[in-house]
């Protein structure tokens, strides 16, 4: 927690959302324990449950009964690591994700190009589940963006889908990241886009402060209200709207979404 507090302070983040990073529910319990500290920066936790398991509702309920469990706001599975590109089409997986939505939680889509088609089908078939595409879907920064832009356009037609600007610096040259961010914002509008730090994974490529500087530079053409939405409002509305009494704190009103982190308004999470 001291390290998280330090990074948040340096980046001007008042609140953050911690996002799962390993396929182990024990990590989620640790994150919820951190979130239980009301004086800390953790406003919410995107955790992990076995989505293909026989009792997803029971596991979610159990997590909510633990210390800090009231701050569970979503679930993520590292679909990008699944060898089957159609893993999201499995009936048991879809039942699990549907239960996440029924529980009033959100779902983080962590996919790469091989899973894009299945992710689109999932979002279309489960309109009742609010989903956010982490790392903007891992586009080929610096490469051929045509397939990604077409996929993104199809997702933008679905009101339950949002996009997180995170993890992009590890995908290609910094100068090629700016047009990717521009395209995401213009396609989804600020209301459905949130900024995330991807800390601490981002430290493999650049300090968290540099990530925020790039996000700020890339969005300089937006109005102050639009920037506040991207850096906090969207994340707050997406992750925390069902959680009464939680407000983002900090000089910029920011939520860091991924520590996957959202800074200005609402989402701060370690989305690694």
pLDDT in tens, 7-64: 788 888 888 999 999 999 999 999 999 999 867 789 999 999 999 999 999 999 999 9
Contact 151, 158 (CB under 8 A): no
Confidence (pTM): 0.89
Residues with Cβ within 8 Å of 176's Cβ and at least 6 positions away in sequence, in order, are 141, 142
Residues with Cβ within 8 Å of 25's Cβ and at least 6 positions away in sequence, in order, are 47, 48, 49, 50, 59, 63
- In angstroms, the CA 151 to CA 139 distance is 10
User: 207 burial class (0-12, 13-18, 19+ CB within 10 angstroms)?
Assistant: middle
> The domain at 2-269 falls in which architecture?
Alpha-Beta Barrel (3.20)
pLDDT in tens, 140-155: 998 999 999 999 999 9
Contact 208, 197 (CB under 8 A): yes
- Domain segments of the chain: what residues? 2-269
pLDDT at 36: 93
pLDDT in tens, 135-191: 999 999 989 999 999 999 999 999 999 999 998 988 877 889 999 999 999 999 999
In the predicted model, is pLDDT for residue 268 greater than 50? Answer: no
Quote the percentage of the chain above a pLDDT of 90: 70
- In angstroms, the CA 57 to CA 114 distance is 29
Query: 236 falls in which pLDDT band (50, 70, 90)?
Result: very high
In the predicted model, is pLDDT for residue 218 greater than 70? Answer: yes
pLDDT at 71: 96
pLDDT at 5: 80
SS3 28: helix
pLDDT at 38: 66
Please count the CA atoms within 13 angstroms of the CA of 66 that sit on its side-chain side. 22
Query: 203 falls in which pLDDT band (50, 70, 90)?
Result: confident
Q: What mean pLDDT value characterizes the chain? A: 88
Q: According to DSSP H, which parts of 126-192 are helical?
A: 146-156, 174-188
- In angstroms, the CA 207 to CA 42 distance is 20
pLDDT in tens, 87-102: 999 999 999 999 999 9
Contact 212, 8 (CB under 8 A): no
Helices (H) and strands (E) in the chain, counts: 10, 10
Contact 206, 227 (CB under 8 A): no
């Amino acid at each position: 927690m001291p390290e998280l507090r330090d990074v948040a302070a340096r980046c001007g983040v008042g609140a953050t959302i911690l996002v799962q990073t390993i396929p182990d529910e024990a990590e989620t319990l640790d994150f919820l324990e951190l979130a239980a500290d009301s004086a800390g920066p953790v406003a919410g936790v995107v955790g992990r449950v076995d989505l293909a398991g026989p009792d997803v509702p029971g596991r979610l309920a159990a997590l909510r009964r633990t210390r800090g469990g009231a701050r569970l706001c979503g679930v993520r599975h590292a679909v990008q690591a699944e060898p089957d590109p159609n893993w999201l089409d499995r009936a048991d997986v879809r039942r699990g994700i549907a239960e996440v939505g029924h529980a009033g939680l959100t779902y983080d889509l962590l996919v790469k190009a091989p899973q894009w088609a299945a992710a689109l089908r999932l979002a279309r078939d489960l309109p009742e589940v609010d989903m956010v595409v982490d790392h903007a879907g891992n586009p080929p920064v610096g490469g051929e963006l045509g397939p990604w832009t077409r996929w993104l356009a199809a997702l933008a037609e679905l009101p339950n889908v949002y996009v997180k600007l995170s993890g992009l610096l590890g995908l290609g040259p910094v100068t090629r990241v700016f047009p990717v961010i521009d395209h995401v914002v213009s396609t989804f509008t600020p209301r459905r886009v949130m900024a995330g730090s991807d800390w601490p994974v981002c430290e493999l490529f650049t300090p968290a402060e540099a990530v925020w500087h790039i996000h700020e530079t890339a969005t300089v053409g937006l109005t102050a209200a639009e920037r506040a939405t991207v850096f906090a409002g969207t994340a707050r509305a997406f992750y925390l709207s069902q959680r009464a009494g939680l407000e983002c704190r900090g000089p910029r009103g920011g939520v860091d979404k991924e520590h996957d982190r959202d800074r200005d308004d609402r989402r701060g999470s370690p989305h690694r």
